[in-house]
A and B are shown apart, each in its own frame.
Chain A
Amino acid sequence: MPQTSSQAPAGAFVDAAGTLVVGGADILKQSRTLLRFATAGSVDDGKSTLVGRLLHDSKSVLIDQLEAVARTSAERGFGGEAGGLDLALLTDGLRAEREQGITIDVAYRYFSTAERSFILADCPGHVQYTRNMVTGSATADAVVVLIDARKGVLEQTRRHLSVVALLRVPNVIVAVNKIDLVDFSESVYTEILDQLRTVTAELGLEQVHAIPVSALEGDNVVERSTRTPWYTGPTVIELLETLPAIDEIESDNDPFRFPVQLIIRPQGGLVAGLNADEFRDYRGYAGQVASGSIKVGDEVEVTPGNFKTKVVGIDLAGKAIDTAFAPQSVSLRLADEFDLARGAVIGAVGTLPEPTTEIHAELFWLDSRSAVPGTRVLVKAGTQTVQAIISSVIGRRNLDTLAIEGTDELKVNDIGTVVLRLATPVPIGDYNQNRRAGAFLIIQPQDGSTLAAGINTNAQFDEFDI
């Protein structure tokens, strides 16, 4: 029989207040927020199974998907828990990946609980792990790093944590997986914690949440395990529901900053029904608040030009609002008319970085063409794209120690430090203060490829001044 779409999953009901409850959660709750997180680890660590477990136990898997998984599980003779379902199949991707048993690219998954909606960037661990880790972690509020309880902290764990530390992902969860395969042993777990503490101390990661889990059997992922009585901390999902997002951490602490995307001057092309006279001189600076907040009446400064003016209006798609904060997309109206273009930055008075033609940067090199001194590139920072030259390559990070070792070439998947000379001054911020303000792309000028992810870390490399 054809499907009736009003069937609900087991356990779904409309409660007395009229809210729909699925998996014990009011998934239509208005106050829900978004958390972006990435998972790092290899297939061997059980990463796909963990992702499948999060989706399955948070009731985010629909019947047709489960049926497909059940069919394939049976074909492959999978005899695990969860009713004989190989949950790793839920994240099975493209055909080449299935055929070769590898994961090629970052895949995005979506699921929700009562508290939050989640965007999960599932990063493959083996192939081009730097490229994938950087892609998945750049926007992440949290990263879940997997460790196999039987193997402990490996070189790969160290490298994943290094990338997380350099990218300043604010929340790190270490899932010590396959705890069932070490008999739920507290002493094994404690030993891994000791190894972990040494690494995180070296990398300068202050807060790392470790959790003993069995992704295969579901312990401490969504459901609390009765087999790890010695562990009293939160489950993976409880952490994900409560950890603060980047915007919560950075927004109020940082001054207002607003890269101008484009200028809205609707001469000749006004929305039907609006009064042409009223909007004749309309000039809105459109953009997304990168950090902080702004109120109507606030004084701001504008670069290039170092003008000072006031915000006289904030428009959110036809609605005038009093305050805007990160990461809202709005249009600002200013008291004075300037000849501003895309690439200009509006910020709180006295807080914008001095536009500079030299950046000491950390690059995550992602292209097979190496970076050498003299390489001509484009730098895209905020809404500005300028020509640049890599004037010198200073060194490459040893990803085991994070020490910088001298080199004059960055190869694919290297992380290293360089000096960039820009053709036009750019007001680029410090990545350690604010991720959006200090991040940029390195682009190949001829074919447009993204060569590298860059972060401005001026302060850190003073000892390498040349």
Chain B
Amino acid sequence: MSKSNLKSGQKLAEHRLGLLDTLESEAIHIIREVVAEFERPVLLFSGGKDSVVVLHLAAKAFWPGKVPFPVLHVDTGHNFPEVIEFRDRTVEKLGLRLEVASVQDYIDRGVLQERPDGTRNPLQTLPLLEAITNGKFDAVFGGARRDEDKARAKERILSMRDEFGQWDPRNQRPELWNLYNGRHLPGQHVRAFPISNWTELDIWRYIERENIELPPLYLAHEREVYSRDGMWRAVGPVSMPTADEVVETRLVRYRTVGDMSCTGAVESSAVLISDVVLEVAGSTLTERGATRADDRISEAAMEDRKKEGYF
């Protein structure tokens, strides 16, 4: 079999970077480009595994220096307490500044109204946009991945947002080679997604390889749960079962750690990261399909929220 368009006498490289190293190198390159070209970057940090991985990559990118930007958390007020504790500990360990945009605060002030279904994920957009404006942030790092969703599959690594935080899928800049164009007008900002090209399995294999600490929810633990919409919901102040929903104790873990009111658990016996890697590799459901009630509502749920300025 002929191999390729090699020039005569050309030989192939002896060393070749493996998958995870290639993805890591690409992400570090993107993070450094953004820090070099923008005035005020910030990282959206929820304590979820993807944002934890981005933070880990940022720490690697600037070693021996500290991560040169603050982190921002949009707190729905419905977060798992374990995740908030993890968030605070991580930020302190790395010596970073944490800004919190609180959805509860907006509700208390009457700016936002609680939705009938109790879900607060869609309420995050306004606090996020105002935090970006008030902080004068011109680049916002996020841990979104293109394998998560159809809308995300089409988003650029550096994604322009207008003054209203809107994403315009029909008017995206072509992204060419490893040259990222972050120029923007005052009022616009850029969302930067360094792990766009990672899959869920890549994330878990990297967490395993790098021995990255995560909130304990990601590993199997016993929890009081009930079944709703084909997911296991945790019993908690914002996720109470109805009279005919049976509460039982099961061994579960979370594949994503979002708003308690709409994030479901999966049954699992994975107590080590290496167990999770095996489980994810053999899993039959996409992570959003399995555990996010809000993305199931309509096929275009994520697309709609992105256009309005969501992550």
Interface hit among B27-35, B112-120, B123-131: B27-35
Q: How far is the CA of A63 from the CA of B196 in the complex (A)?
A: 23
Task: Name A's B-contacting residues (CB within 8 A).
Answer: 1-9, 12, 14, 20, 22, 27-28, 30-34, 62-65, 68, 92-96, 104-110, 112, 116-117, 119, 131, 134-135, 138-139, 168, 170-172, 205-207, 209, 233-234, 242-245, 247-253, 261-262, 264-266, 269-272, 274, 279, 282, 286-288, 293, 315, 317-318, 325, 327-329, 331, 342, 366, 378, 380-383, 435-436, 439-441, 443, 447-450, 453
Q: How far is the CA of A170 from the CA of B5 in the complex (A)?
A: 5
Interface hit among B74-82, B98-106, B226-234: B226-234
**What are 29 inter-chain pairs, A to B, with CB distance below 8 A?**
A3-B231, A7-B282, A9-B282, A12-B282, A33-B18, A33-B22, A34-B23, A62-B283, A62-B285, A64-B290, A65-B286, A104-B154, A104-B169, A104-B170, A105-B172, A107-B153, A110-B147, A247-B17, A249-B6, A251-B15, A271-B64, A271-B65, A286-B62, A287-B32, A288-B28, A329-B25, A329-B28, A329-B29, A329-B32
Residue A95 contacts which of B93, B153, B303 (CB distance < 8 angstroms)? B303
B25 contacts A271, C-beta separation under 8 Å = no
Determine the chain A residues whose CB is within 8 A of the CB of B13 once the complex forms. Answer: 247-252, 325
Contact residues, B69-113 vs A (CB, 8 A): 93-95
Any A CB within 8 A of the CB of B4: yes
Interface residues on B, range: 35 or more
Residue A440 contacts which of B93, B179, B227 (CB distance < 8 angstroms)? B179
Task: Name B's A-contacting residues (CB within 8 A).
Answer: 1-7, 10-19, 21-26, 28-29, 32-33, 35-36, 59-66, 68, 93-95, 146-147, 150-151, 153-154, 169-170, 172-179, 181-185, 196-197, 199, 201-202, 205, 227, 230-232, 253, 255, 264, 266-270, 277-279, 281-286, 289-290, 299-300, 303
A119 contacts B197, C-beta separation under 8 Å = yes
Tell me the smallest distance from the CB of B92 to a CB of chain A, in Å: 9
Q: B64, B196, B232: which has the most chain A beta carbons within 10 Å? A: B64
B151 contacts A20, C-beta separation under 8 Å = no
A65 contacts B289, C-beta separation under 8 Å = yes
Q: How far is the CA of A170 from the CA of B10 in the complex (A)?
A: 13
Q: B2, B7, B174, B284: which has the most chain A beta carbons within 10 Å? A: B174
A206 contacts B231, C-beta separation under 8 Å = no
Determine the chain B residues whose CB is within 8 A of the CB of A4 once the complex forms. Answer: 266-268
What is the number of contacts between chain A and chain B, taking CB atoms within 8 Å? Answer: 292
- On whether A329 and B61 interact (CB within 8 A), knowing A5-B290, A105-B172, A271-B66, the answer reads yes
**Chain B residue nearest to A105 in the complex (CB):** B154
A248 contacts B64, C-beta separation under 8 Å = no
Residue A243 contacts which of B4, B177, B253 (CB distance < 8 angstroms)? B4
Determine the chain A residues whose CB is within 8 A of the CB of B227 once the complex forms. Answer: 1-2
Q: How far is the CA of A264 from the CA of B264 in the complex (A)?
A: 42
7 interchain residue pairs of minimum CB distance: A448-B183, A266-B65, A317-B60, A8-B282, A64-B289, A5-B266, A329-B28
- On whether A245 and B16 interact (CB within 8 A), knowing A27-B281, A104-B169, A134-B174, the answer reads yes
A274 contacts B285, C-beta separation under 8 Å = no
A282 contacts B184, C-beta separation under 8 Å = no
